[in-house]
């Protein structure tokens, strides 16, 4: 899409959710690298940074008091408690990018997805599924981050998340990574072309 055409439309809010172990993070990273005009929304969280994570890149890491203040000041378009920690998306992060015509990828949980659907016009909600629950168990075991007890807990939570995916627009199975990435890109490309999205493309074309 040319810059002139891109600037006339508001960006597309894209929510991607999945149960942990489904490969959401890798898929979202690959999407950001291979699709133009889409950027990620950086969330606020009260959890500690892990490994190489950097404040302002993966997350804004804040303390509970700061998070409470932001809730009080209505700075979040959505927020939720996930695995005992709080995560939230700030209005300004999303709105500034959407207003600039950039599509915004929100890698958030199903509670957040439901809030975005209700509060952000035109949001597209995509839920990633594992090919099977056996495969999900295998992936969680192979990444060796959790104890057997934690893996059972994550599987139980995965079932809850999958059941909560009912309001999502698209279900995408992440079996083969490249195929899932290609399907994800196709969904976004098609959504960009929806006639219902505010755009003055037709007027511009006819008056050119």
Using rule CB under 6 A, residue 104 touches ligand 5GP: no
- Shortest Å distance, C-beta 10 to ligand 5GP: 21
- The one among 12, 107, 124, 130 contacting ligand 5GP by CB under 6 A: 107
| Stretch near ligand 5GP under the rule CB under 6 A, chosen from 30-38, 79-87, 135-143, 184-192 | 79-87
Size of residue set near ligand 5GP by CB under 6 A: 13
| Stretch near ligand 5GP under the rule CB under 6 A, chosen from 83-91, 124-132, 149-157, 195-203 | 83-91
Using rule CB under 6 A, residue 108 touches ligand 5GP: yes
- The one among 22, 89, 165, 174 contacting ligand 5GP by CB under 6 A: 89
- Shortest Å distance, C-beta 205 to ligand 5GP: 38
- Shortest Å distance, C-beta 24 to ligand 5GP: 7
CB nearer to ligand 5GP: give 47 or 137. 47
Using rule CB under 6 A, residue 47 touches ligand 5GP: yes
Go through 33-51 and write b for each residue having 16 or more CB atoms within 10 A of its CB, e for each that does not.
eebeebebbebbbbeeeee
Beta carbons within 8 Å of 75's beta carbon, 6+ residues apart: 90, 91, 92
Closest chain position to ligand 5GP (CB): 112
Contacts 24+ apart (CB under 8 A), 30-34: 30/177, 30/181, 31/105, 31/181, 31/184, 31/185, 31/188, 32/105, 34/181, 34/185
- The one among 10, 109, 136, 140 contacting ligand 5GP by CB under 6 A: 109
Q: How far is it, in rounded angstroms, from Cα 11 to Cα 38?
A: 8
Using rule CB under 6 A, residue 23 touches ligand 5GP: no
Query: How many other C-beta atoms are found inside a 10 Å radius of the C-beta of residue 87?
Result: 22
Using rule CB under 6 A, residue 82 touches ligand 5GP: yes
The residue ranges that bind ligand 5GP (CB under 6 A) are 43, 47, 78, 80, 82, 87-89, 107-109, 111-112
């Amino acid at each position: 899409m040319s810059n002139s055409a891109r600037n006339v439309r508001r960006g597309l809010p894209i929510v991607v959710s999945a149960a942990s172990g489904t490969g959401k993070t890798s898929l979202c990273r690959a999407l950001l690298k291979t699709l133009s005009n889409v950027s990620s929304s950086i969330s606020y969280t009260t959890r500690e940074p892990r490994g190489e994570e950097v404040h302002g890149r993966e997350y804004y890491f804040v303390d509970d008091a700061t998070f409470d203040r932001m809730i009080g000041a209505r700075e979040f378009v959505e927020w939720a408690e996930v695995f005992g920690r709080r995560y939230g998306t700030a209005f300004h992060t999303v709105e500034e990018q959407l207003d600039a015509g950039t599509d915004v990828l929100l890698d958030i949980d199903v509670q957040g997805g439901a809030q975005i659907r209700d509060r952000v016009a035109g949001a597209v909600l995509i839920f990633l599924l594992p090919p099977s629950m056996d495969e999900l168990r295998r992936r969680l075991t192979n990444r060796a981050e959790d104890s057997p007890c934690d893996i059972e807990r994550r599987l139980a939570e995965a079932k809850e998340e999958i059941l909560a995916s009912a309001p999502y627009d698209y279900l995408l199975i992440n079996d083969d990574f490249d195929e899932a990435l290609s399907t994800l890109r196709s969904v976004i490309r098609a959504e960009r072309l929806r006639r219902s999205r505010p755009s003055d493309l037709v007027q511009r074309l006819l008056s050119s």
